[in-house]
Amino acid sequence: MSENADYPVNVIGHINPDTDSICSAIAYAYLKRKLGKGNYIAKRAGQINSETRFVLKKFQVPDPEYMGDVRAQVSDIDVGMVKGVKEGISLKNAWELMRTDGLQTLPVINEENELKGLITIEDIAKSYMEVYDSEILAKANTPFSNVIETLSGEMIRGQAEERITSGKCLIAAANPDLMESYIDPGDLVILGNRYESQLCAIEMDAKCIIVCDGARVSYTISKLAEEKGCSIIKTPYDTFTASRLINQSIPIGFFMRREGLVTFGLGEYLDDIRKIMATKRYRDFPVFDWNGKYYGMISRRRLLGARKKQLILVDHNETTQAVDGIQEAEILEIIDHHRIGSLETLQPVFFRNQPLGCTATIIYQMYKEHQVEVTEKIAGLLCSAILSDTLIFRSPTCTQTDKEVAEELAKIAGIDAEEYAKEMFSAGSNLSAKSAEEIFYQDFKKFAVGETTFGVGQINSMTEKELEAIKDRLLPYMEKALNDHGVDMIFFMLTNIMQTETELICAGNGAVDLALKAFHLKNETGRVILKGVVSRKKQLIPPMMQALQEN
């Protein structure tokens, strides 16, 4: 599948988004839209942390919409836009709609577009073939308007809105003397042009007489019907045809299915609904929109044409860091500054990976290459991402290019980089109101070496005091995180930006020994202090992986 101007392309970062992940997604989606190449939308794969929230508020940019799973959903298929009908329409009307549009099922809705039931061709066939009740019109509360429509008739006397609420439907084929023995008050009588039969039916208090063959209704009969409260309908059909058609005037609400309806929402995943469809004999299924209102119909056949979600990945290229369902999505591009990871694509994609301190630096370069103006807001977002990822240029991952770009962006955004960065990090490290779980997942990634899997989280702070408080809260949570993720080891970096050092807390069998071996340390104090280490990507992960490979 290639890029389609009408189908959205989601620009998304990793599952525990940091400032670079969020800001780069927003900035790159904006760049792609400015280039006029399609409908590009920035998304996020996880919760926004305090630091990023500060940045978005500072530059008045709304949060990207959350996307936690990129498997195909009902919204990714061509839903049949079958118009809903009201439950008062006749069976004949419903049949004509189905025949004209080639439908097997009609959805029945109310004025608020809420689904009330379904009527199928099978339901209509049963109503015609299996109903022998002469009082069915009354039981179905059939309005005269339906009878008029079904019989192509004309209301000579009475009100079309009035409903048939009692009595049976019969044909007056006998002479008037015999008719008196089987016509009861409230009956609906189908008859011909015989004056005596019409008179008898009215005298016997019939609710309505249906005059066939387009026969003229005399003034006397019309006047008497008015006095007796009897309605008169004239139809061009003969008696046989009228009697055969009249049951088709019954409202579909009488026969439609109201209970046990199998419905789906636009947000439901196709993997899930395929299993449900396989257990049901129905051919068509109603779909609700995001507000729970009727939207359209789908069938098993329509699932075959499901579109894969189209993605551009920023700031990551590993399956363990990607949004759920990534294997079922179509990746169009990857923009990243990390090592080449485990993620695979089915076809060649545009992959831009540069050894820079931040994905945002690459995004800025692309703005320049395409000669697209960087707005004040976009400049603020990109500058924030660089300051965050490079720890105000203190990280060993920071390059001269990152620093030059950040300074250019700071001028456009109208901020002092150093002063603004202190505000940003202070906002991000204010974790007093957060739970240990929220702190842990603020910036957490998983890695694999051979058969060994491990996770690494990180928190940056400007003060040692705050890091000690965070450590006290995280230590009891580490074992739970280890079990939740099913990994062999978990490490958490408590990074002091001002002192340019990290304390590494560990969980899992052999975790401490691995850390000591990777950094050639002795376990003299019971703490793993990594002097000069502030970067997970460049300073922590490589020696850890090397130590694992040696093991």
Give per-residue pLDDT as tens, 26-60.
Answer: 999 999 999 987 899 999 999 998 899 999 999 99
Model pLDDT, residue 280: 85
Q: Which of 270, 305, 314 has its CA nearest to residue 40?
A: 314
- Assign domain 9-72+308-428 one CATH number from 3.10.350.10, 3.40.50.300, 3.90.1410.10, 3.90.1640.10: 3.90.1640.10
Query: Can you tell me the distance from the alpha carbon of 43 to that of 68, in angstroms, rounded to the nearest whole number?
Result: 9
Q: Indicate if the pLDDT at residue 416 is higher than 90.
A: yes
Q: Indicate if the pLDDT at residue 296 is higher than 90.
A: yes
Query: Can you tell me the distance from the alpha carbon of 117 to that of 252, in angstroms, rounded to the nearest whole number?
Result: 10
Model pLDDT, residue 526: 79
Model pLDDT, residue 1: 39
Model pLDDT, residue 312: 97
DSSP-derived 3-state class of residue 84: coil
- Residue type for position 469: A
**Mean pLDDT of the region 508-537:** 90
Q: Which of 227, 216, 221, 215 has its CA nearest to residue 201?
A: 221
Model pLDDT, residue 3: 47
Model pLDDT, residue 316: 94
Model pLDDT, residue 5: 53
Phi, psi of 421 (to 5 degrees): -60, -40
Q: Which of 491, 495, 499 has its CA nearest to residue 518?
A: 491
Does the domain at residues 436-550 carry the CATH identifier 3.10.310.20? Answer: yes
Q: Which of 60, 300, 253 has its CA nearest to residue 140?
A: 253
Model pLDDT, residue 2: 44
Instruction: Give the least confident one: 263-272, 361-370, 420-429.
Output: 420-429
The tokens for 378 are 């976009």
* CATH number of the structural domain 76-128+254-303: 3.10.580.10
Model pLDDT, residue 302: 87
The enclosing H or E element of 231 equals strand 231-234
Q: What is the pLDDT of residues 172-228, one digit of tens each?
A: 876 776 777 788 999 999 998 889 889 999 999 999 999 999 999 999 999 999 999
Q: Indicate if the pLDDT at residue 6 is higher than 80.
A: no
Q: Matching CATH topology for 76-128+254-303 and 141-249?
A: no
Q: Quick one: 141-249 is in which CATH superfamily?
A: HprK N-terminal domain-like (3.40.1390.20)
- 525 or 521, which is more confident? 521
**Mean pLDDT of the region 322-344:** 92
Query: Can you tell me the distance from the alpha carbon of 486 to that of 475, in angstroms, rounded to the nearest whole number?
Result: 18
Which position has the token pair 């970067």? 535
Query: Can you tell me the distance from the alpha carbon of 102 to that of 117, in angstroms, rounded to the nearest whole number?
Result: 19
**Mean pLDDT of the region 69-85:** 93
Model pLDDT, residue 426: 83
pTM: 0.70
Share the mean pLDDT of the chain. Answer: 91
**Domain extent listing, the chain:** 9-72+308-428, 76-128+254-303, 141-249, 436-550
Beta bridge partners of 12: 43, 313
Beta bridge partners of 41: 10
Q: How does residue 433 score in pLDDT terms, banded at 50, 70 and 90?
A: low
